[in-house]
């Protein structure tokens, strides 16, 4: 919550974060990749933080994230209502 509060006071950084942390075709964050190329599922923690900061400013939610709460989106993903994601093999995405 404290980081979201700080980010909410930096509109340029907030908008850049929302613009850059978007999903790729497989549902992974385009920005959150480690040195081996493995990326976080979208919405990533950084995107969720930026969404929270945006809502603190009273701005409407971005058009790309699904409706509902963060927990609700994660739950929907776990129940399979979100697009399937590639399986991981040894920490790397496996090709179908």
Give the whole-angstrom CA distance, residue 61 versus residue 26: 22
Q: What is the predicted pLDDT for the residue at 48?
A: 92
User: Residue 67 has what pLDDT?
Assistant: 44
Angle (deg, nearest 10), helices 45-56 and 11-20: 140
Would you state the pLDDT for residue 60?
A: 58
7 compared with 67, residue with greater pLDDT? 7
Q: What is the mean pLDDT of the chain?
A: 75
Would the pLDDT of 92 be above 50? Answer: yes
């Amino acid at each position: 919550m404290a980081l979201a509060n700080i980010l909410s006071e930096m509109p340029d950084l907030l908008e850049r974060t929302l613009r850059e942390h978007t999903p790729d075709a497989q549902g992974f964050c385009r920005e959150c990749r480690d040195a081996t190329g493995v990326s976080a599922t979208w919405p990533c923690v950084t995107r969720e933080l930026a969404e929270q900061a945006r809502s603190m400013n009273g701005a409407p939610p971005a058009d790309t994230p699904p409706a509902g709460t963060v927990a609700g989106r994660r739950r929907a993903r776990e129940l399979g209502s979100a697009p399937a994601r590639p399986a991981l093999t040894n920490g790397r995405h496996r090709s179908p």
